[in-house]
Structure 1
Amino acid sequence: MTGFTSPEFDSQLQHLQKTIDRERLARIDAEAMADRARAELVRRKQERAFMESVAAAANQALSFREAIQYALEQICTFIDWPLGHAYFTTRTSPVQLSSSSLWHTAGFPTPDTFCRATEQCRYAPGEGLPGQAMARRQTVWLADIGEQEALLAQRGAWDAGLRAAFALPVMAGNEVVAVLEFFSPEPTPSENGLLALMAFVGIQLGRVAERQRAEEQSIHDAFHDSLTRLPNRALFLDRLNRALLRCMRDDQDNMAVLFIDADRFKIVNDSLGHLAGDSLIRQIAARLSSGLDPANGESGAIRGEYTLARLGSDEFAILLENIAGAAEAVHVAEHVLSRLQAPFAIGSQEVYCSASIGIALAADHQAADELLRDADLAMHRAKRLGGARWDLFDQAMHASAFQRMSLESDMRRSLLENRFVVHYQPVVDLRTGRISGFEALVRWNRHDKGLVYPNDFIPIAEDTGLIIPLDLWVMREACRTLRGWQEEFPSEPLTISINLSTRLFSLANLAEQVSEILESTEVDPACVRLEITETMAMSDADRALQLLTELKALGVQLSIDDFGTGYSSLNYLHRIPANVLKIDRSFVSQMHESEECMQIIRTIMLLARNLGMRVIAEGPETEAHVEKLVGLECDYGQGYFFSKPVSQEQARHLLETAPFERS
C-alpha cells in the first residue's frame, strides 16, 4: 500500500500546511511590527534629541543670529536637506522680509547666482514662499517646485537643481520676526509629524527673539529718558567722554557742550501740575529734536555729529562734534532760543518757556564731567543775568564757582557753630524821635574773615536752601532779644521787624513754624512784624493771600516791603491784611532831586491812609530827608540818618540813651 495516501491524510496535511503558513505570516507581521516600532522609537528618540538640542541652543544662544545659524544647521542635518537660509523682518514700515545672509550648505553645489539673487530679494507678506509663511504664520511646503515654480522662479531655484522647499516662520508672540527656508534636490512630500516639529522649532527660536528684545529694551531704557526717549545723562556722558578722547587723540578741540535749562518750568509744574510739566518737557524735547535735525532744513540745524540728551527735570544738553569753533556753538544756542519763543499748548493753556544756555568748549578740558560742569556754570550765570540767553564759559566762572562752594560749606558749618549774628536797625517815630522798634538783619561772622554782609551770602543761601533754616534762626533770635528788651524797658512799646525770604514764604507750614517760635520765646505776637516784598505778595496772589491770612491769625503784624517797585494791583492790595507799607529807599533818596519820586511818595502815603495802614520810609540819610518826610506826615523812618544796623548791645544802648528824641 506504500505510495498511496488516504483522502483523510491529504486533508490533514493541507490543514497543517495552512497552519504553518499562517504562523509564518504572523511571524513576518510581528517582525515587521517590531521593526516599525523600533524605527518609530528611533525616530522619536531622534526627534526628542533634536528638540532638546534646539531648546538647549535657544536657551544658551548669546544672540538671535547665533540661534538662527544653529537652527539652520540642525534642521538640515535632521531632515537630510542640503540647503537652508534665513530672512529677518525689517523694522521699517511696511514690514518686509530681508535676507540675513545666514546660510547652511551641506555637500550641495549651490550656484552663487542663486545665493546672490536670494539675498537681493525682499518679500512683503504673501509674496513668494517666505512671504506666504509670514502671512499664514505657519510652515508652507512645496513638495515639487516644478508644480509651483512661480513662488521661486525669480531666484532660479529650478535651474539651481532644487526640487522641494519649505518655509518656516519664527514667531515672537503674534509677530513674525524671521522666516527660515530649506531646499532639497528631490521632490519631497510633507509629513504631519515634521510640520509639527518645525512649529516647535519656530516657537523656541521666537523665545530667543523675545529674550533678546527684552535685553535690548532694558539696555535702551537704562540709557534713555523714559519721558522724552532722548539719551539720558549716563549715555550723554559716555558719548561726551568718547568724543573728548577722539579730540585728544587727534590733537583737536572742535567740540562743545550746550547746557540748557528751562527758565519757567517750575512755575508751570507748580501751578498746572506734574502732568502739565511732563507735557511741557516732551514738547521742549520735540522742538529741540526737530530744530537740530539737518533733515528739516532749518538754518540752525547742526551740520556735524551731535547728541541731544535730557539730563533730568528741566535740563537738557547738546554735544556738538566737528564744529568750526565757538561761533558755531553760539549759532546753535541762538537757534535753540528761537525755537522756544513760540508758546506751548498745555491743555487749554498757552505757556511760554524760554531757556538759559551755558556753552563750554573742549579746549583745556580732560574729562567729560568737567566739561559738563563748566557748561552748567555758564548756564547758571545766564540764568542769573535774567535768563532767555546764552553765556560762554570762562575760567573766571570756575574761580567764582569754587568761591561759592567754599562759602556754602562755611555757611553750613557756621549754622551748626552759631556763627551768625543779628544786627538791629532802629525804626524811629518821626513825630517824636522815639525808637518804636528795630528791623532784624542777619550778619555772618566768618571765622577769621570778620563780618560778611548779606549781599555776599544771601544769594547763595537762597540757591542752596540754607536760607530757610537761617531765616528761622534769625526769627527766633530776634524774638528772644525783643522779649529781653521788653522786660528791661517796659515803658517802650517796641516792635521787631523780620524779613521773610521767598523760599521761607513758600513753606506750606510757615504759620506753624512762626507759631512755635512765638510760643517758645514767649513774645507778644502783636509786637512782631513780618515783612514780605511787594513782588512776593503778587507772584502767586491767591496763595500769598491765604498764607498772610494764616499769619495774621497768629496776632502778628504784616508789612509790605520795598513798596512802589513792583506791580501791585490796587484791587488785590486792599485784600491783604497788612498793617504797614514801607516806601522803598530808591524813592526817598531821590525825593529832593526828582519830582516824580516825590509824587510817588505822596501817592503811597495817600494810599496807605485810605487803607488804614501806617508808613515807614526806608533810607533817609540826611536831615533834609527827615524834615521832608515829617512834612508829609510819614509815620516812621528807618535809615542811616538815625543809625546803621548795629549789634544787640549797641541797640540796647540806643534804647537806653534815646538819642533821636525831639525836644
Structure 2
Amino acid sequence: MLGQPDIRDDSQPVDAVPPEPGLGLGPKVIAAIGSVRQSYLDALPIPTAIVSVRDGAMTVLHYNERYAVSMRVPSDGLLDKPDMATAVCRFAAETDAIEEFDWIDGDEIDGQHYRVRLARLSRLDPGAERVMVSALDRTAEVQTQRSLRAEMTHDSLTGLPNRTAFADAMADAIEAGGTAPDARSGAGLAVLIVDLARFSRVNQCLGSAVGDELIVTVARRLVGTVRSGDMLARIGGNEFAILMRLADVADDAVVAAHRIQAALATPFRLSEMEIRVDCAIGCAMPDERGSLATDLFRNAQFAVKQAKQTGRIELFQAREVNAVRRRFSLETELRRAIENDRLTLAYQPLIDLRTGAVSGFEALARWHDPQRGPIEPGEFIPVAEESGLILPLGRWAIEAAARTLVAWDRTAGRKLPVQVCVNLSAVQIQRDDVSATVEAVQAAHDVAGRMKLELTESCIVADPERAVRVLHALQEQDVRIAIDDFGTGYSSLAYLQKLPIDELKIDRSFITPMLRDRDSLAIVRAVLSLAAALGMSTTAEGVETVELGQTLGALGCTRGQGWYYARPLTPEAAYAYWLARRHNS
C-alpha cells in the first residue's frame, strides 16, 4: 500500500552476512555493509527503520533520515512509544510476513496520524527476528477528511448539522435507546420538524441575501429553545429539525413545539423591515415495535405536512399515513386501470319534470378492481386530480360517453334526442386542452349538439380567465355547459352572467331536506328564480321521493335526477330505461 520495496537481506549479496560485530567480520566489512544498507534506507520516500527483536526486547539497528526528522530522533522516536514497541514485538513473535495498521501519536484531534507497515526480513542471527518498520504520515489526509466530513455534515449558511448528520444522529439515538435496560427501541425520542411559512415570498420580494439573513436569525432563535443534549439541524431551505429525548414524549413534545412557536412569534427586523414568520411544526415518536431512523423522519415530515394544512401542531398518527399509503397505492393501480381500459361509465337518467321523459344521462366513472373490488368515485377521483391522472381519465370519459351515444343511435336506428353529460375537473380546465378533445370526439362520432359538460364553481374560481376562454371555445362547438353542485361553492353572479352557462344543477344538500326545512326551500326557490332570470335551465340532484319530484316540477325546475327515478345504469340498461320511459311518457 505504501509503494515501498520489500527489502530482504537474502536478495542482496552485500547484505548476505550479518553486520553485527562479533560474528567473524572485520570492521571494514561491517562498515561497508552498514553504509550500503543506510543508502537503501535513505532512498526510501517515507520514514523507515530496521529493528531486531530478541527475547521480547527490541533494538533499533538502522533508520533513514526521514525517520530521524519526522520522529524527532533520538528524543521522541516512533519506536520509543510503548504501544508501538509492543506491536513490533508481537509481530516478530508471530509468523505473518507483513502487517499494516493505523496508529495515532497523541490524541485523536491534535495527534499525528500514521499508517504503519511491518515487514519481516530474513534472519541473520538464529536468536533474533529482524523487522522493517515504515510509517506514512497521514495527518494532513486525516485533517482534510475531517474537514470534508464537517462540510458534508454541516449547513454552510448556519453552521448547524445538516440532513445527513441528523439522519446519522437519529440512527445512533434509536440504536442506543434499544440497548437501554428499561427502554424499547428509541423510547423517549421525539423528532420535531419546523417549516417556515411563506419563506419563498421573502426571497422573491426582498432577495436571497435577506432570505439568508432570515434563516441565520431563525437558527439563532431556535438554538435558544433547545436543551443541552438536543440536536438542532437545518434539513432544507426553510426546514429545521430537532432530535430530543423526553420523559413524557407526547406532552413534552407539544410543550417544546409551543416554546418554538413563541420564540419565532416576535417579528424579525431585516433590511429595515419588520418580518413576521409563522411556522408549521410536526412531531413523530418511535412506535412500540421500534422504528428505523428513515421511518421516524418520514413520519415527522408527514406530520409537518398535516400541520401546514391544519395550522396546528400535529403529532404523527399511523392511521393517517396508512390512508396516504392507500392513496399512493390507488394512484399506481388507477394508472394501470386507465392504460388497460378497465374503467367503465354508468349512466344516471335526467328526467324532464314536465313530461316525465328522459332528456339525457349523466356519465359517471366506475372502477371495479380485481383485488379491491368496487372503489367509490369519492375515493379515486381525488387521487386522480392530485396525481394528474384526471387528464387521461377525463379524455377517456368524453370519448367513452360519445361511443355509448353512437351505440344507442345504432340500436335505435336514428339519433336519440338525448344528451350525455360528462363531468369536468378544475385540473382539466387549468392543464388540458378540453376544447380540442371535444372537437376531435365530436368529429369522430357525430354527436355534435348532444354533449354536455358539467363543472363545479371551483373550476371557474381557480383560473377565471382561462375558464372564460375554455367555455367560450366549447360554446362555439355547440357543447352545453352546466354548473354542478350549484350553491355549495363560491358563486359569483358576475361570472354567471358573463360565461356561456346553460344550466344550473342544484346540489342535493338543498333538495333532500327542502320539504321539511324552510331555509332549504327558500334557497331552492331563489336558485330557480335566478336561473329563470338568466335564461338557464335547472336540474335538481338527489330526488328520492315522488313528492320531491312533484314539488320541484311545480316550482318550475326543469329536470330531476336521483334514485327515485333510477340508480346509475349500465349502457344497455340505460338504453332500455330510455325506451321504457319513452313509451310510458
Bin the TM-score by the shorter chain: 0.5 to 0.7
Are the equivalent residues in 1 in contact too, given 2:160–2:232 (CA < 8 A)? no
1:109-143 CA distance string (max 9 Å, x none): xxxxxxxxxxxxxxxxxxxxxxxxxxxxxxxxxxx
Structure 1 residues 568 and 393: CA distance shift in structure 2, 3 A: same
- 1:163 is matched with which residue? none
| Structure (1/2) with the larger helix percentage | 1
- 2:521 is matched with which residue? 598
Cα distance, 1:457 vs structure 2: 2.3
- 2:544 is matched with which residue? 621
1:255 aligns with 2:185: no
Are the equivalent residues in 2 in contact too, given 1:365–1:371 (CA < 8 A)? no
Are the equivalent residues in 1 in contact too, given 2:419–2:452 (CA < 8 A)? yes
- 2:42 is matched with which residue? none
Cα distance, 1:340 vs structure 2: 8.1
1:466-511 CA distance string (max 9 Å, x none): 3332222222211221232244443532212111223323205343
- 1:21 is matched with which residue? none
- 1:242 is matched with which residue? 172
Q: 2:417, 2:268 → 1: CA distance?
A: 54
Are the equivalent residues in 1 in contact too, given 2:510–2:520 (CA < 8 A)? yes
Q: 1:511, 1:350 → 2: CA distance?
A: 48
In the alignment, structure 1 segments of 5+ residues that lack a partner are 1-55, 58-73, 78-103, 108-207, 295-300
2:447 partner letter: V
- 1:652 is matched with which residue? 575
User: Of residues 419, 434, 439 in structure 2, which corresponds to 1:495?
Assistant: 419
User: Within 5 A, what are the aligned runs for 1:172-211?
Assistant: none
Q: Tell me, what secondary structure is at the counterpart of 1:658?
A: helix
- 2:337 is matched with which residue? 414
- 1:484 is matched with which residue? 407
Structure 1 residues 417 and 582: CA distance shift in structure 2, 3 A: same
- 2:429 is matched with which residue? 505
Q: 1:566, 1:472 → 2: CA distance?
A: 25
Are the equivalent residues in 1 in contact too, given 2:221–2:264 (CA < 8 A)? no
- 1:120 is matched with which residue? none
Structure 1 residues 336 and 592: CA distance shift in structure 2, 3 A: farther
Q: Tell me, what secondary structure is at the counterpart of 1:574?
A: helix
Q: 1:421, 1:452 → 2: CA distance?
A: 12
1:362 aligns with 2:286: yes
User: Of residues 419, 424, 438 in structure 1, which corresponds to 2:347?
Assistant: 424
Cα distance, 1:256 vs structure 2: 1.7
Cα distance, 1:282 vs structure 2: 6.6
- 1:390 is matched with which residue? 313
User: Within 5 A, what are the aligned runs for 1:156-555?
Assistant: 220=151, 224=155, 233-250=163-180, 251=183, 253-259=187-193, 275=204, 289=219, 291-294=221-224, 301-304=225-228, 305-311=230-236, 316-324=239-247, 325-334=249-258, 357-363=281-287, 364-379=289-304, 387-489=310-412, 490=414, 492-507=416-431, 509-524=433-448, 526-555=449-478
Q: 1:660, 1:229 → 2: CA distance?
A: 81
Q: 1:531, 1:439 → 2: CA distance?
A: 9
Cα distance, 1:621 vs structure 2: 0.7
Structure 1 residues 222 and 306: CA distance shift in structure 2, 3 A: closer
1:417-440 CA distance string (max 9 Å, x none): 322111111111111111111111
Q: 2:207, 2:319 → 1: CA distance?
A: 36
Structure 1 residues 333 and 534: CA distance shift in structure 2, 3 A: farther
1:640 aligns with 2:570: no
- 1:142 is matched with which residue? none
Q: Tell me, what secondary structure is at the counterpart of 2:398?
A: helix
1:370 partner letter: D
2:294 partner letter: D
Are the equivalent residues in 2 in contact too, given 1:620–1:637 (CA < 8 A)? yes
Are the equivalent residues in 1 in contact too, given 2:268–2:275 (CA < 8 A)? yes
Q: 2:417, 2:277 → 1: CA distance?
A: 49
Cα distance, 1:441 vs structure 2: 0.9
Structure 1 residues 452 and 616: CA distance shift in structure 2, 3 A: same
Are the equivalent residues in 2 in contact too, given 1:355–1:389 (CA < 8 A)? no
1:608 partner letter: A
Q: 1:343, 1:647 → 2: CA distance?
A: 61
Cα distance, 1:332 vs structure 2: 3.7
1:586-645 CA distance string (max 9 Å, x none): 000111121111111111112112222111111111111111110111111111111111
Out of 607-616 and 506-515, give the one that drifted further. Answer: 506-515
Q: 1:579, 1:389 → 2: CA distance?
A: 43
TM-score (norm 1): 0.57
Are the equivalent residues in 2 in contact too, given 1:276–1:346 (CA < 8 A)? no
- 1:588 is matched with which residue? 511
Cα distance, 1:649 vs structure 2: 1.5
Are the equivalent residues in 2 in contact too, given 1:584–1:617 (CA < 8 A)? yes
Q: 2:469, 2:149 → 1: CA distance?
A: 47
Q: 1:229, 1:550 → 2: CA distance?
A: 56
Cα distance, 1:576 vs structure 2: 2.0
Q: 2:337, 2:584 → 1: CA distance?
A: 38
Are the equivalent residues in 2 in contact too, given 1:422–1:443 (CA < 8 A)? yes
Cα distance, 1:648 vs structure 2: 1.4
2:535 partner letter: G
Cα distance, 1:370 vs structure 2: 0.9
Which of the pair has more CA radius of gyration? 1
Structure 1 residues 368 and 606: CA distance shift in structure 2, 3 A: same
CA RMSD of aligned residues (A): 4.4
Q: 1:635, 1:248 → 2: CA distance?
A: 69
Cα distance, 1:339 vs structure 2: 7.6
Q: Tell me, what secondary structure is at the counterpart of 1:455?
A: helix
1:189-209 CA distance string (max 9 Å, x none): xxxxxxxxxxxxxxxxxxx9x
Q: 1:592, 1:246 → 2: CA distance?
A: 66
1:577 partner letter: P
Are the equivalent residues in 1 in contact too, given 2:503–2:538 (CA < 8 A)? yes
Q: Tell me, what secondary structure is at the counterpart of 1:535?
A: helix
In the alignment, structure 2 segments of 5+ residues that lack a partner are 1-44, 47-65, 75-139
Q: 1:581, 1:328 → 2: CA distance?
A: 53
Q: 2:568, 2:350 → 1: CA distance?
A: 11
Are the equivalent residues in 1 in contact too, given 2:426–2:462 (CA < 8 A)? no
Q: 2:562, 2:451 → 1: CA distance?
A: 20
Are the equivalent residues in 1 in contact too, given 2:430–2:463 (CA < 8 A)? no
Q: 1:342, 1:508 → 2: CA distance?
A: 45
Are the equivalent residues in 1 in contact too, given 2:456–2:486 (CA < 8 A)? yes
